[in-house]
């Protein structure tokens, strides 16, 4: 996921960070500009994005999974400018297409990030992704060193590829 975060930061213009830093004493570097990033949760990956006015959180297991203290710590490190006087981070938990199995959370996190970057914004987070094609698409993005929107199913079951 660090490779995906690197590509996202290149395309957004932000500062790349390693998810490994979230486990260090110093933690992640605060972001002062628009950001789209994948964070590590316990045995899971989630997508976050921030603009000057808002932080959003996207999780392929929501609403069934709570935001862990580990992810909360990362969010507070990344977005201190969004912490209110009460010490709480204000953010929107955005509905998304749920993952269909137990191992594709990273692929879905990457798909959400590209929807926020190139696609239909929040509406794209609920896309009918072509799940069997998602992992191969992510591999192609990594090979090309550029993220692009993930393929979707057409309403009648045909596959639509967005490139």
**For residue 159, is it within any domain?**
no
**For residue 146, is it within any domain?**
no
**For residue 155, is it within any domain?**
no
pLDDT of residue 45: 93
Question: Bridge-partner residues for 35, per DSSP?
Answer: 50
Q: Is the pTM of this model over 0.95?
A: no
Cβ neighbourhood burial of 25 (10 Å; 0-12, 13-18, 19+):
exposed
**For residue 89, is it within any domain?**
yes
**For residue 47, is it within any domain?**
yes
pLDDT band at 144 (very low <50, low <70, confident <90, very high): very high
pLDDT of residue 2: 85
Return d(Cα 66, Cα 44) in angstroms, integer.
12
Structural domain of 29: 2-128
**For residue 6, is it within any domain?**
yes
Mean pLDDT value across residues 23-38 = 73
Query: Of 58-67, 131-140, 142-151, where does mean pLDDT reach its minimum?
Result: 58-67
Residue 98 pLDDT exceeds 80? yes
Q: How many CB atoms lie within 10 A of CB 118?
A: 15
Mean pLDDT value across residues 62-78 = 85
Mean pLDDT value across residues 9-37 = 71
The total number of structural domains in the chain stands at: 1
């Amino acid at each position: 996921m660090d490779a995906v975060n690197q590509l996202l930061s290149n395309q957004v213009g932000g500062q790349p960070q390693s998810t490994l830093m979230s486990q260090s004493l110093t933690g992640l570097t605060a972001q002062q500009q628009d950001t789209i990033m994948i964070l590590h949760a316990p045995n899971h990956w989630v997508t976050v994005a921030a603009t000057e006015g808002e932080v959003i959180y996207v999780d392929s297991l929501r609403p069934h999974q709570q935001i862990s203290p580990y992810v909360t710590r990362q969010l507070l490190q990344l977005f201190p400018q969004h912490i209110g006087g009460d010490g709480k981070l204000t953010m929107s938990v955005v509905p998304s297409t749920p993952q269909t199995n137990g191992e594709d959370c990273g692929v879905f996190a990457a798909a959400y990030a590209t929807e926020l970057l190139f696609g239909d914004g929040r509406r794209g987070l609920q896309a009918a992704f072509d799940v069997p094609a998602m992992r191969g698409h992510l591999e192609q993005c990594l090979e090309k060193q550029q993220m692009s929107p993930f393929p979707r199913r057409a309403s009648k079951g045909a596959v639509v590829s967005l490139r």
